[in-house]
Amino acid sequence: MATGRALTAADDALTRALREALGAGAAVRSDRLSRAIYATDASIYQAAPLAVVEPRHAGDVAATLEVARARGVPIVARGAGTSLAGQCVGASGIVLDYSRSMNHLLEVDVEARRARVQPGMVRDELNAALASSGLHFAPETATSDRATIGGMVGNNSAGTRSIRYGQTRDHVAALEVLLDDGERLRFERLDRAGWAAKTRAAGREGAIYRGVSAVIERLRPEIARRFPHVMRRVAGYRLDALAGEPPWSLVDLVVGSEGTLCNVVETELALEPLPAARALVVVCFDTLEAALRAAPQLVDVALPSGAQPTAIELLDHVVLQMARKNPGAGWRYRWYEAPPQGALPQATLPEAILIVELCADDTRTLDADVEALRARSDIGYARVPARGEDQNEVWDVRRSGLGLLAAITAARRPIALIEDAAVPVQALAEYIAGVQALCRELEVEISLYAHASVGLLHVRPLLDLRVARDVELAKRISEGALELTMRHGGSFSGEHGDGRLRSPTLQRFYGEAICDGFAEIKRLFDPRGLLNPGVIVEPKPIDADLRSGPDYHAAALPTRYHYREAGGLATAVELCTGVGACRKVGRGSMCPSFMATRDERDTTRARANALRLAISGQLGEPALVGDELDQAFELCLGCKACKAECPSNVDVARMKSELLAARYDARGAGVADRFYGYSAWAAALSSGPQAALINGAMKLQPLRALLERVVGLDARRSAPTFAEVPLAGRVRQRRAPSGAHARPTVALFCDTYSEHHEPRIGEAALDVIEALGRRAELVAGSCCGRPLISCGFLDDARRLGRRTLERIARQPADVPLIVLEPGCYSALVDDLPDLVDDEALGQAVRARVVDFASWLAREVSGRSARPSDRRFVVHPHCHERALAGSRAGAEALAALGAETRVLDAGCCGMAGAFGYRRATYDVSRVVAEDRL
């Protein structure tokens, strides 16, 4: 399992051969960090490659294949690396990462409804580019904001709307592929004569067509007997697609083959018109069984338009509970807390919900269908509609299902094992009852969610694979669920594929004859067995190469933070299961450095993975210090977007602070580190009467050049100015309002920025507070320690923070403390409570601190306001998004009569010192420009 062995001479020779073959500018990596972070995907497996190649074009792919053939080295194709069955985890081989460079839309033919794309293009980016044409690529996985077209082709992905749109295979018109020897072929739909002509072709192409035809003909009766009759079936190779009537296409074999037959370098997609109108109805149930039995009813529900639902997704109580706890999703749970009926108390969440999507050509028709479904009192105890932007909130929770479950911090956690079985929807309730009985007998809890419309629920047993007994339980559960699936006429792989997880079950599922046919197909395409070996054909045991198996041990290293929510650093790190939400593009803030570089090592999961490997001794002796950790965390902005937008709540910003503190212990802190970390003290010394002199000096080029050389303060960046009269002094100079000696009703935290840099902000806040009839007291002379925290000076941050928290705790309990600066707010409610030893103190302060935007939104809610013609675009601070949500500021302005819009842009790129440092200035600029 270890990923950190030193590179051998053979590895070095392979790297040299690849770089020579691919030429100048080629991205070939074989350093220990790259191999480590490509050793995992979103599955339970881990196996390190020898090298990683980021091909720029098909020529690079062909050159890599040639090197691999010459040296007998396996090739594993990879897109976003979100596979749940271990499809893109390959030991001792070369990983081809298509996502970095081969990610372009090549051509769109609107009239023909066709698009040509490279394999690394992200599905949602493709649809954003197609939006103006009124067309889209219809299959939509929960990972659509990072899933690549190549990955969807490899998996035959389907997603939420497959009841209407089917699978990826149904939308692929043609493929351009490279065989193992680099020969390029085009596969497309052929009639009987066209197929016959291909079988007469010379060379490997003809041999493949003849060989496939022979396999199909020989196995035709067995195919008819063995292949299940459910729409969601991706187990093995789709021989059944070639056993029917024409048109035939090798596309049907390659789609879903998980990179085991060839490398796809270009895909021609068939596009669908975008629906004119969509709406959701969230149906709430008091039992899971009631929801399961309602699914077939909803599939065939009678609506005024005659249309059928385009999606029916189930979430159980466990997923809903985790959504409520999630910092980013918690505020979204309004729509599934409809007043229950019967025995359920008001505060109880539903035991299950079904998210039903309806589409129509116009809103009137859609509204009629929605109301008809809402009137079905025989289905669920509540039916809550969601229209417009509210639909995104619902879908965000659904898409986060996997990550939300991964946030469970108990030793036993939900794992991907039997999550992909699909049965006829009419048999779904009985199948799930069987799985429940099986797991109950083994004393294993489960959670489930996903595609009720097509009989495919992602059932996740809670197991701890670090315990040998649980590994054996996993095998028994897999075997039992497989038998149940076969009994109900289903497919054990419905959309997530076989990979390392389910390939060992194919022999039992299909029998020897069909599996021999799979092996023969594999030899036709890949005679040397170098393309993703061990997947579909000749698999390893299900428990081989586990990421965290019985031989995994994380060292109990001393830390500054307590990691109370997770129960320790090791668990906090292991919350990352690789779902890859940090690779999303085009929305949200996580992860800003990845959005700028598109480099896997700049993702939240790469950083968490590197730290997991470090503390478990897989990068050398267990430690929080090392070159690989320095590289992985170098471009982390500490923005805390991962705290909220990672569905598993992996807080890499906190981990970076921890690592910086450990680095200072081992190597000492540099002048630059101290310059930024202790900037609050510098601000206090620089503001006041001397500020004008200092501000003028900071504009002098010689001084800026010196600062750039000594502390890395980039001369291109304007330095912050200091206030000649700090905020506390300005407040004393303000004309005392009537009742100035009255007891304050709120307190305003005087942060460093408002006090020493921009006191006008604090004054404006006081003006607003007083205009609303509130009496404010300024809490000055305290610092939250944010610069110390972000720069890793955690011992000083703890000492300072404790004093600040104690001072806040002495404030009257009924006087809320309003905080202007989101970075200070996050320090007070998130970082310091976990950093100080007195847990009760941190919790007490957390309960009385509120950010300014949230306080204002609550204060003005319900007040009558004159309509205003003023328009505001609101760009929330990253820490505000993470800890308080992004809507409060806009809601407050809207309540005051202004037209507002929350800017759908990411991080501003400054992130404390990040935007000022010469080493990260250029990246900060790219980050800032995202979606502006």
User: What pLDDT, in 10s, does the model give residues 501-542?
Assistant: 999 999 999 999 999 999 999 999 999 999 999 999 999 999
Measured CA distances, 475 to 5, 293, 468, 544, 833 (Å): 30, 29, 11, 12, 42
The model's pLDDT over 136-175, given as tens digits with 9 standing for 90+, comes to 999 999 899 999 999 999 999 998 999 999 999 999 999 9
CA dihedral (21, 27, 31, 35) positive or negative: negative
The model's pLDDT over 181-233, given as tens digits with 9 standing for 90+, comes to 999 999 999 999 999 999 999 999 999 999 999 999 999 999 999 999 999 89
How many percent of the chain have pLDDT more than 70?
A: 95
Confidence at residue 12, expressed as pLDDT on a 0 to 100 scale: 87
Other beta carbons within 10 angstroms of residue 772's beta carbon come to 15
Residue among 33, 20, 23 nearest 609 (CA): 33
What is the average pLDDT across 291-297? 95
Q: What is the CA radius of gyration of the chain?
A: 29
pLDDT at 737 over 60: no
Confidence at residue 346, expressed as pLDDT on a 0 to 100 scale: 42
pTM, rounded to two decimals? 0.93
The model's pLDDT over 240-264, given as tens digits with 9 standing for 90+, comes to 999 999 999 999 999 999 999 999 9
Confidence at residue 328, expressed as pLDDT on a 0 to 100 scale: 60
**Alpha-carbon gap, residue 168 to 272, rounded angstroms:** 12
Domain coordinates in residue numbering, the chain? 9-101, 105-256, 275-399, 569-670, 679-860
What is the average pLDDT across 80-94? 92
- 275-399 and 9-101 share a CATH fold: no
9-101 classified as CATH 3.30.43.10 = yes
pLDDT at 88 over 80: yes
- CATH code for the structural domain at 105-256: 3.30.465.10
What are 469's two structure tokens?
Answer: 């007994």
The model's pLDDT over 668-725, given as tens digits with 9 standing for 90+, comes to 999 999 999 999 999 999 999 999 999 999 999 999 999 999 999 999 999 999 999 9
What is the average pLDDT across 330-341? 50
Determine the residue type at 198: K
**Beta pairing, strands 746-749 & 776-779:** parallel
Q: What is the DSSP string of 863-903?
A: --------EEEE---HHHHHHT-SSHHHHHHHHTT-EEEE-
Confidence at residue 345, expressed as pLDDT on a 0 to 100 scale: 40
Into which CATH architecture does domain 275-399 fall? Answer: 2-Layer Sandwich (3.30)
The model's pLDDT over 372-383, given as tens digits with 9 standing for 90+, comes to 999 998 999 988
3 pLDDT band (50/70/90 cuts)?
Answer: very low
Q: Which residues contact 927 (CB under 8 A, 6 or more apart)?
A: 592, 593, 595, 596, 637, 906, 907, 908, 909
- What's the whole-number average pLDDT of the chain? 92
336 pLDDT band (50/70/90 cuts)?
Answer: low
